[in-house]
Amino acid sequence: MDEIVALFYAYQESSDHDIGDAYQSGVVAVHNDRADPKRLRDNPIETVDTELELLNRITDIVVEFDPDILVGWEIQTASWGYCDARGRTYGMSAVFYCLWVLISS
């Protein structure tokens, strides 16, 4: 199973009327000399050194935004499911951890 090298996220407040102000997006990527941040133009890029740091950072972002709903592409087998599978290689369940933090906060 390939390591995750980048995660893209977007967040929107449903209570705000001006979508431009309420919408935030970004990228968390494992540092790579071949990646050119200028190609992603309007998306802020945060780099980390390892896949484990990437998984921890995306968990921190979920906790910071404190969303009511988490969505993704084919959630169980792709997006969140893949993050969970990769997290298990480090002895953590990314999905379980995110949900536990959200429920306990």
Mean pLDDT of 53-68: 86
In one-letter notation, the amino acid at residue 77 is T
Query: What is the pLDDT at residue 38?
Result: 74
**What does pLDDT average to over the chain?**
78
Tokens of 5: 């090298």
Q: Please check the confidence at residue 105 and state whether its pLDDT lies above 70.
A: no
Q: Edge-to-edge, what's the strand order for the sheet holding 23-30?
A: 6-12, 23-30, 45-48
User: Does the model's pTM come out above 0.85?
Assistant: no
1: number of Cβ within 10 Å: 8
For β-strands 45-48 and 23-30, DSSP reports them as: parallel
Mean pLDDT of 44-53: 92
Query: What is the pLDDT at residue 99?
Result: 57
Q: Please check the confidence at residue 1 and state whether its pLDDT lies above 60.
A: yes
